[in-house]
Structure 1
Amino acid sequence: MKLSYKLIMVSAAALMSVSPLVNTTQNVNAATASSKKTTAKKTSTKKAITKKSASTKKSASTKESASTKKSASTKKSASTKKSTSKKAASSKKTTSKKTTSNTIKLIHNAYVYDKNGKRLKTYMGSAKYTTIAKGVTVNSNGTKTIDGVLYYSLGGGAYIKAANVDGKAGNIDKPTIITLKKNAYIYNGEGKTKKKLVKKGKTVKTTEARYIGTKLYYKIGDDQFVKAANVGKVKGTELDPINEPDGAATVEVPDTEDVNSTNVTTKRVVSLYDIKGQKYANRTFDAGISQQVSELRYIATSVNSTPQLFFKLASGRGYLKYDDVTMDGKILNPVNTPEQAKADVTVATAADKAKLTQSINEAASVKASELYKLSSSSAKAAYDKAITDGAIVNNNASATIGQVNEAEGAIVAAKAKLNGAKIAVANFNSLTPDEVTAIVKAAANANNVPESAIQFSNNNTTLSIVTNGYTQPLNINDYAVQNSAINR
């Protein structure tokens, strides 16, 4: 509230009064004129002196009165100014107090931390309150610096980072800059990529951190994200993720996990080839597209042809000609010789298919295992595809040795990526929120249902699949194992 004061100044003017001297002349005889004139003059002079004295006293009195009034006015003015100054100071103090209100508004989603800067697993009696949404106004009773980071106290040992508060962090307008420690693919908001790269060592501005699925990403442009696993240094305002992971957060390996990985970049629009050196129809890469590759090999189109070098894509989708790309990273040596490449073109015999046949036959036992059932959906899908593709090659009477070897290698690689395992918990009767989340995810993977269909009940001791009103009980021991050695 603004206060307006009107200062009234009182001034006094000295009133000066002066009485004129008046000489009265009377007509008298000539003989007495001089005497009487003298007497009259004296009398007149005396009267004039008396009047002048009175006038002087009156003037002095007036001056004294004016001086007294002026002094009083001055004191009153000083008093008024002092009073006004006090009121102004009081007003200023009040405004300052209101300006430094303990109400703060969030401009980002904010995690709640403890006094040591560690994220709280529960807040206000629930795990769902450990993240406060953007736009929410909360009360704070002060600030605290933890490990060099400024926090606002919410009371009760709970804190949020000041960087998430509107204008309160001091450096809130300082952009967040990330430096890539690995070559990083650019993903869209759905976690899909066209394999375009941001080069290792590149420094870019990021506007938010967010989870896509269970993996953490940094946003670097309109619908453009890079995995946090590929990021090294982070400078500027620290960003908390704007959302929670869709399940238990996973530590994603970088796009180019091996520092000695090899990447190639297309020189022009180029075709993709198969293991027989034949172009795939309508499968090309634009110029300037970077891809990670896993091997360099000779491929011959026939027994009598001259083998040429090709890079195999790490994704396993095909091959790029050596002459169509530029390479950076670890130098790869050919995995075969030109002579072996010519041999690979020949039709495979039953003996050549022995290993492939064995891998296909063991698929049933693999799919029944804990390793497969508790793996991620993507890992299981990759294994299933490798088995399906391998069976097609195995049943093809004209399949070449090269095709058979490639199919067998794909199955072996896919099986190696199956990582299913039971969730280790400290106590089945007292599961933590993180343990509950992990078990739900494992049960959903094992039963090929969405995580929302998996429900706990009876204080998280009973597990079920609930879909369309139908409830199917599950055995929690199929997805978790108790390990009393776990420290919480």
Structure 2
Amino acid sequence: MKLSKKILLGSIANVLALGAGFIVSQQPISTPVAAATTSNNNTLKLIHGAYVYNKKGKRLTKYRGSWSKTHLCKGTNIKYTGTIQPIEKDSKQYYLLNDDNYNQSWLPYKKINGKYYYSIGHGGYINAANVNEINGQPLYIANATVTVKPKDNHGFSGGYTGSGKSRTLVKPGQKLRVDRITKIPDGNSISKVYRIAGTTDAFIYSGNIKTQPRQQLATYTMYTYVGLKQNSNAYSISSILKPEITNKNITLAKNEDLPVIRELYIWVPKDNKAELFYRLNYYTPEFTSDFHNAITNQLFYIKAADTNYLSGPQLTPANTPEEAQKDAKISTTADKQDLQKLIDQEKTITASANYKNETYVNTYKAQYDEALKQAKAVNSSTSASITEVKEAVWYLTTQQQALVNATKTSNGNVEDTMPVN
């Protein structure tokens, strides 16, 4: 079933962000006289022709003394009033992303009769839906309404998308709200898809939508992605704690986008402080050779300070700096009790139906086997730190739970239940 012809069905276990969003131009509804174009400072740029309204949402017949200024052309830059302000993440319908893609800000808007308006001074307001840049920065929208194309002769007739509670029936001509954008492999090409708002994995191919959203939507990835600001080493915990003994590190290149699954503090003896690290995500659909070499050699950790957040679930530290310092010492048998209990469950897990299910051989079973192998190595080591033991417990626990809880969806796809934090 070609994605270019059908609704995307089932769980998308390998969705990746291959771009940071898109802007789709719209044509102006008429050809009014254009307002004067200004610089990017304190300006809104229009992606669509816009009328000027008053504070009650009524269209003005005259603005700043002229009828011609009551309608602005697509592409016009126009001065706004107000000040850009920081906001809590995902708290506004229209917002700007700052340089690290994490913090958000907004130009305060006025909501009138269910629509959002920016003030342009002199009592005038324009619909935020017609704006695509503020001060030269792309304007993002929390969610947008789109219309599915009608049934056609090219194979599109609607269908189900998503898995579990997100399973959604999409019909030709239906209106949907979408809140994320991403790209996925589609044969020998890459296809753009939108996520349906209120779901975790229900997507619709952009080609099945009549009109694309005007503003940018946040990028979706199943995994958390960070980008390297500079060349950066991938470390093991032992190479961080004992660099004079274990000095095997692999350098990852600047601007590389990396999937990460965990954030924690690790004690850095040479700096006499705890530093924040990300753990690289072991199982992802694609990676570079350097990334592959790093995780193959179990060099899972990169410095958070060397990265910028890009997309996906936002992680929080799994421990504190004080705990990191305490856990830097060599573990005892007592420290390994929880790890030993997990290892002792091997016979039960490998005898389970899910472990023997061929559907899971290359996914959950392989992940569990790898986590178990790593856990046994840490458990048998006489020099493993408490941090390494705790990480082995976390990793084996997540993979064991993923295997035990894995289920098939009604359409036959494997539903991804692997925790990401």
Which category describes the TM-score, using the shorter chain as reference length?
Answer: 0.3 to 0.5
Instruction: Work out which structure has the larger RCO, using CA pairs closer than 8 Å and 6 or more positions apart in sequence.
Output: 2
State TM-score, norm by structure 2: 0.43
Larger Rg: 1
